[in-house]
Amino acid sequence: MIKNTNTHWQAIEADPRFQTLHRDKNRFLWRMMLFALIYFFCLPIAAAYFQLILTIKIWGVINIGLLFALSQFIVAWCIAVIYARRANHEFDARAKALIEDADDIKGVI
Protein backbone atom coordinates (compact mmCIF):
# COMPACT_ATOMS: atom_id res chain seq x y z
CA MET A 1 0.00 0.00 0.00
CA ILE A 2 1.26 3.46 -0.88
CA LYS A 3 1.56 5.61 2.23
CA ASN A 4 2.58 8.88 0.61
CA THR A 5 -0.13 10.54 -1.47
CA ASN A 6 2.24 13.19 -2.84
CA THR A 7 3.95 10.92 -5.34
CA HIS A 8 5.88 12.65 -8.09
CA TRP A 9 4.06 11.09 -11.06
CA GLN A 10 5.92 13.10 -13.71
CA ALA A 11 9.19 11.58 -12.50
CA ILE A 12 7.68 8.11 -12.74
CA GLU A 13 6.32 8.72 -16.23
CA ALA A 14 9.66 10.06 -17.46
CA ASP A 15 11.58 7.10 -16.03
CA PRO A 16 12.72 4.63 -18.74
CA ARG A 17 11.88 1.79 -16.35
CA PHE A 18 8.25 2.93 -16.33
CA GLN A 19 8.16 3.06 -20.10
CA THR A 20 9.63 -0.47 -20.24
CA LEU A 21 7.12 -1.68 -17.64
CA HIS A 22 4.25 -0.10 -19.56
CA ARG A 23 5.43 -1.65 -22.83
CA ASP A 24 5.91 -5.10 -21.26
CA LYS A 25 2.53 -5.02 -19.54
CA ASN A 26 0.77 -3.83 -22.71
CA ARG A 27 2.44 -6.53 -24.77
CA PHE A 28 1.42 -9.20 -22.25
CA LEU A 29 -2.17 -7.96 -22.05
CA TRP A 30 -2.59 -7.67 -25.82
CA ARG A 31 -1.35 -11.25 -26.26
CA MET A 32 -3.74 -12.53 -23.61
CA MET A 33 -6.63 -10.59 -25.13
CA LEU A 34 -5.85 -11.88 -28.61
CA PHE A 35 -5.74 -15.46 -27.36
CA ALA A 36 -9.04 -15.00 -25.50
CA LEU A 37 -10.78 -13.44 -28.50
CA ILE A 38 -9.64 -16.19 -30.84
CA TYR A 39 -10.64 -18.89 -28.37
CA PHE A 40 -14.03 -17.35 -27.59
CA PHE A 41 -14.91 -16.71 -31.23
CA CYS A 42 -14.10 -20.32 -32.13
CA LEU A 43 -17.41 -21.43 -30.58
CA PRO A 44 -19.75 -19.34 -32.74
CA ILE A 45 -17.64 -20.07 -35.80
CA ALA A 46 -17.75 -23.79 -35.04
CA ALA A 47 -21.49 -23.56 -34.39
CA ALA A 48 -21.98 -21.92 -37.78
CA TYR A 49 -19.66 -24.04 -39.91
CA PHE A 50 -18.75 -27.22 -38.02
CA GLN A 51 -21.98 -28.44 -36.41
CA LEU A 52 -21.13 -32.07 -37.04
CA ILE A 53 -18.03 -31.86 -34.87
CA LEU A 54 -19.85 -30.09 -32.06
CA THR A 55 -22.66 -32.67 -31.98
CA ILE A 56 -20.36 -35.65 -31.39
CA LYS A 57 -21.57 -37.30 -28.17
CA ILE A 58 -19.03 -37.82 -25.43
CA TRP A 59 -21.20 -39.26 -22.64
CA GLY A 60 -25.00 -39.27 -22.49
CA VAL A 61 -26.25 -35.85 -23.54
CA ILE A 62 -22.79 -34.31 -23.17
CA ASN A 63 -21.28 -33.43 -26.55
CA ILE A 64 -18.18 -31.63 -27.79
CA GLY A 65 -20.07 -28.36 -28.26
CA LEU A 66 -21.21 -28.31 -24.64
CA LEU A 67 -17.71 -29.16 -23.39
CA PHE A 68 -16.19 -26.47 -25.58
CA ALA A 69 -18.70 -23.90 -24.31
CA LEU A 70 -17.98 -24.84 -20.69
CA SER A 71 -14.24 -24.76 -21.36
CA GLN A 72 -14.54 -21.04 -22.04
CA PHE A 73 -15.21 -20.47 -18.34
CA ILE A 74 -12.08 -22.44 -17.50
CA VAL A 75 -10.04 -20.45 -20.04
CA ALA A 76 -11.33 -17.15 -18.62
CA TRP A 77 -10.33 -18.20 -15.09
CA CYS A 78 -6.94 -19.42 -16.31
CA ILE A 79 -6.30 -16.07 -17.99
CA ALA A 80 -7.22 -14.29 -14.76
CA VAL A 81 -4.88 -16.52 -12.72
CA ILE A 82 -2.04 -16.09 -15.20
CA TYR A 83 -2.43 -12.32 -15.13
CA ALA A 84 -2.66 -12.20 -11.32
CA ARG A 85 0.51 -14.25 -10.93
CA ARG A 86 2.40 -12.21 -13.49
CA ALA A 87 1.23 -8.96 -11.91
CA ASN A 88 2.09 -10.08 -8.39
CA HIS A 89 5.55 -11.39 -9.27
CA GLU A 90 6.68 -8.92 -11.90
CA PHE A 91 4.54 -5.89 -12.69
CA ASP A 92 3.67 -4.85 -9.12
CA ALA A 93 7.26 -5.19 -7.87
CA ARG A 94 8.57 -3.06 -10.72
CA ALA A 95 5.84 -0.44 -10.18
CA LYS A 96 6.53 -0.32 -6.44
CA ALA A 97 10.24 0.26 -7.07
CA LEU A 98 9.40 3.12 -9.43
CA ILE A 99 7.11 4.77 -6.90
CA GLU A 100 9.66 4.43 -4.11
CA ASP A 101 12.40 5.91 -6.31
CA ALA A 102 10.08 8.76 -7.33
CA ASP A 103 9.32 9.50 -3.69
CA ASP A 104 13.08 9.66 -3.03
CA ILE A 105 13.52 12.04 -5.98
CA LYS A 106 10.68 14.23 -4.68
CA GLY A 107 12.40 14.50 -1.30
CA VAL A 108 15.53 15.81 -3.05
CA ILE A 109 13.67 18.32 -5.26
Going by pLDDT thresholds of 50, 70 and 90, the confidence category of residue 105 is low
* Range in 9-13, 27-31, 80-84, 105-109 with the lowest mean pLDDT: 105-109
- Is residue 2 scored above 80 in pLDDT? no
Q: Residue 87's pLDDT is what?
A: 93
pLDDT digits (tens, 9 = 90+) for 45-78: 999 999 899 899 999 999 999 999 999 999 999 9
Q: Residue 7's pLDDT is what?
A: 64
Domain boundaries along the sequence of the chain: 16-104
Buried-exposed string 65-92: b where 16+ CB fall within 10 A, e elsewhere: beebeeeeeeeeeeeeeeeeebeeeebe
